[in-house]
């Protein structure tokens, strides 16, 4: 890893090579095992393809069962190491069964020993002790304070440290809250409350338990509502607050909700109830560095937020934006969110600093940077003795405030940050790479200028050799040059569509952990079902490789149609509720069904090769395409090209693959009898 400071983010370049380094050994063994299934039992070459497809079906069902068990049961109940050991049990039992069938009792002793040690680690508490040791070692790389608590929720790992009477809460290794830390929270509360002439109802999207809620409740407000997706986060803080701070959380004016913030705003906007309207909303979220966090900085979210604000309502948020940042890496990120916010709330005031605070309103003369006006509002609202009136002069220094406003206005973003084109999280990732000294910054800068036509031309150049091989091949028959690209494009389309479906779901209905797990499960179920259906009587229905290739081309065309048909889903109205969710889930299951059918059809089209070889090649092509699809879709296509253009590209790739298959199939031999 090299030298990484405590609590800092892993540099982007190291992330790119460490993730493969950590995952490839396991995925390599999984992929290596599949073609070996062809040699488990001596079978005729004619029956072996059916057995291999059956193994593929069972692999899909196993992945489905494992994913469901983890999502709905294991993740909330057990430590990570214990979960790994529990998943090791079926592996050991299965490998022991194979060893017993292959070589009798010769190698069974080794498997029994491994199984016994695993069971002993599970039931003796050894796994828990090892996990505790690993947690402590991880903590030493995060903080020098004493580790007080470690918890794993559905959403994150939480670690709480204590040093000199002050607690530090880390979320997935990153500092998330410090308490007691009264001064910053008191100043932030004063900043927020004074930007509205007479706030009565305040909404905080995110946690406020570490001190912000206490200080906001010291003002003359009627209600404070906080919305936090992870109850463990606020619970861990409240358990270690002192008596006075804990008493503030029992204030009758405070309402603490546990749900996705985006979902809460969407539901409140839909309901249109006066009880769900607020004078001031504070988006207490980190920077838009991921697709999930980006949901709180899109134009669609700001429009929904506007619907639940009272006339003259104010939105507040914080960004990594400073008047000292003249870099063309930082400015595009902050400017695109600034311009997006301004498109919904035209009047914006900025408090400059290492982390700047943005205040926005749809009406003029509400938000302001005039320290005298803010001080007068503060005195009218405070319950306790005043004392922070003078702080506004330092919070809004004239020269710095003018400088950052001018910088934000000067840099005109090419695109607004939207649900269907979340450009901000790409720019945020580029900023993160730059701040960590990543050598990939130049590449990300270049990719930021990429347009749809350039991507289209690049894909055409990559596919040109395959087209030439198909047109000028010696043997006029379907070969690897057509089947392997079909398998790869199927994997690419499947994983890309799965990521897009999850992305659409989060933007439309909010992040719901079990629902996301269910979407993935439906795709895996579709894979197994598609392979099983296509494998039925395939020898009789498709006696030649050319016929199988034509069917495979038809599957590719259906994948393209399904992708293009998803475009209307991008405009799904939230009022569809559960029918809309069902439609998206069915769409994803249908995609899994089509992608799953590629394996048996591909093996039939490659019947001239040994079954084990063709199965291994198809599996490799499928996985490689899926890996590339998941990477480019999440990191580049969605934020840079948008959801619509990304789905269009996937469809074009599938159609090109279908055209190559048809070209090879119809120009090849057409025997009249079974070969």
Q: Are 595 and 493 in contact (CB under 8 A)?
A: yes
- Give the per-residue pLDDT at 592: 92
Q: First vs last Cα of the chain: how many Å apart?
A: 56
- Give the per-residue pLDDT at 4: 40
For residue 290, name the pLDDT band (cuts at 50, 70, 90).
confident
Provide the angle, in degrees to the nearest 10, between the axes of the packed helices 513-534 and 480-509: 150
Structure tokens at 108: 């069974």
Residue 637 sits at the vertex; the CA angle it makes with 634 and 640, to the nearest 5 degrees, is 110
Close Cβ partners of 592 (under 8 Å, ≥ 6 residues apart): 494, 522, 523, 524, 525, 526, 527, 529, 530
Look up residue 635 and give its DSSP letter.
I
Distances (CA, A) of 223 to 217, 276, 279, 308: 8, 11, 10, 15
pLDDT per residue as tens digits for the range 394-419: 888 888 888 878 777 777 767 899 98
Name the nearest CA neighbour of 201 among 227, 228, 224.
224
3-state secondary structure of 223: strand
Distances (CA, A) of 19 to 14, 16, 229, 621: 8, 6, 27, 20
pLDDT per residue as tens digits for the range 216-235: 988 889 999 999 988 888 88
Structure tokens at 355: 């982390």
Structure tokens at 499: 């990521």
Q: Are 202 and 225 in contact (CB under 8 A)?
A: yes
The structure's pTM equals 0.82
pLDDT per residue as tens digits for the range 406-455: 777 777 767 899 988 888 888 887 776 666 566 666 666 667 667 767 77
- Give the per-residue pLDDT at 7: 40
- Give the per-residue pLDDT at 673: 39
**Rounded Cα gap, residues 477 and 227, in angstroms:** 61
Structure tokens at 122: 């599970």
Distances (CA, A) of 338 to 298, 354, 381, 464: 10, 16, 29, 42
pLDDT at 308 exceeding the cut of 90: yes
Structure tokens at 322: 């400073």
How are strands ordered across the β-sheet holding 174-179?
A: 146-152, 157-163, 166-171, 174-179
Q: Are 597 and 558 in contact (CB under 8 A)?
A: no
């Amino acid at each position: 890893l090299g030298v990484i400071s405590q609590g800092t983010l892993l540099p982007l370049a190291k992330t790119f090579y460490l993730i493969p380094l950590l995952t490839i050994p396991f995925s390599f063994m999984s992929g290596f095992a599949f073609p070996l299934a062809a040699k488990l039992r001596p079978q005729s070459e004619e029956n072996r393809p059916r057995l291999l497809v059956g193994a593929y079906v069972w692999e899909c069902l196993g992945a489905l069962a494992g994913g469901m068990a983890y999502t709905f049961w294991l993740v909330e109940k057990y430590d990570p190491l214990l979960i790994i050991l529990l998943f090791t049990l079926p592996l050991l039992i299965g490998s022991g069964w194979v060893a017993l069938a292959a070589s009798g009792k010769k190698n069974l002793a080794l498997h029994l020993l491994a199984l016994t040690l695993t069971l002993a680690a599970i039931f003796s508490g050894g796994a828990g002790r090892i996990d505790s040791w690993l947690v402590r070692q991880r903590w030493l790389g995060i903080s020098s304070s004493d580790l007080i608590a470690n918890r794993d929720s559905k959403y994150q790992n939480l670690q709480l440290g204590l040093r000199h009477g002050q607690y530090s809460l880390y979320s997935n290794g990153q500092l998330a809250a410090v308490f007691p830390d009264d001064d910053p929270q008191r100043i932030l509360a004063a900043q927020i409350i004074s930007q509205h002439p007479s706030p009565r109802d305040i909404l905080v999207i995110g946690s406020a338990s570490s001190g912000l809620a206490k200080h906001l409740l010291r003002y003359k407000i009627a209600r404070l509502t906080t919305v936090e997706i992870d109850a463990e986060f606020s619970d861990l803080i409240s358990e270690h607050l002192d008596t006075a701070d804990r008493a503030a959380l029992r204030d009758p004016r405070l309402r603490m909700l546990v749900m996705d913030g985006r979902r809460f705003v969407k539901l409140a906007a839909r309901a249109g109830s006066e009880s769900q309207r607020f004078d001031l909303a504070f988006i207490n979220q980190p920077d838009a560095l991921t697709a999930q966090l980006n949901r709180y900085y899109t134009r669609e979210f700001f429009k929904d937020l506007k619907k639940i604000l009272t006339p003259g309502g104010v939105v507040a948020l914080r960004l990594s934006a400073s008047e000292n940042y003249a870099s063309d890496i930082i400015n595009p990120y902050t400017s695109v969110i600034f311009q997006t916010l301004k498109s919904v709330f035209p009047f914006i005031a900025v408090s400059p600093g290492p982390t700047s605070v943005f205040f926005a309103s749809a009406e003029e003369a509400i938000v302001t940077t005039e320290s005298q006006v803010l001080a007068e509002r503060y005195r009218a609202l405070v319950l306790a003795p005043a004392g922070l009136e003078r702080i506004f002069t330092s919070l809004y220094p004239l020269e710095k405030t003018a400088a950052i406003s001018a910088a934000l206005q000067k840099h005109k973003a090419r695109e607004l940050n939207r649900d269907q084109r979340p450009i901000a999280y790409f720019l945020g990732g580029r900023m993160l790479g730059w701040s960590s000294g990543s050598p990939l910054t130049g590449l990300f800068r270049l990719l930021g200028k990429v347009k749809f036509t350039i991507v289209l031309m690049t894909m055409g150049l990559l596919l040109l050799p395959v087209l030439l091989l198909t047109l000028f091949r010696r043997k006029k028959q379907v070969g690897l040059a057509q089947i392997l690209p079909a398998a790869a494009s199927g994997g690419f389309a499947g994983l890309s569509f799965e990521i897009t479906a999850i992305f659409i779901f989060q933007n439309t209905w909010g992040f719901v952990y079990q629902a996301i797990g269910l979407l993935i499960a439906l795709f895996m179920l579709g894979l197994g079902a598609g392979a099983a259906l296509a494998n039925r009587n395939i020898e009789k229905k498709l006696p030649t490789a050319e016929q199988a290739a034509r069917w495979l081309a038809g599957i590719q065309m259906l994948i393209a149609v399904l992708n293009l048909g998803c475009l209307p889903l991008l405009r799904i109205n939230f009022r569809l509720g559960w029918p809309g969710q069902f439609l998206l889930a069915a769409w994803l299951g249908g995609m899994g069904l089509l992608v799953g059918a590629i394996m048996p059809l591909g093996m039939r089209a490659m019947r001239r090769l040994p079954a084990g070889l063709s199965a291994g090649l198809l599996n490799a092509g499928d996985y490689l395409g899926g890996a590339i699809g998941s990477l480019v879709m999440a990191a580049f296509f969605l934020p840079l090209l948008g959801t619509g253009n990304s789905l269009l590209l996937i469809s074009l790739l599938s159609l090109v693959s279908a055209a190559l298959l048809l070209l090879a199939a119809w120009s090849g031999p057409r025997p009249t009898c079974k070969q």
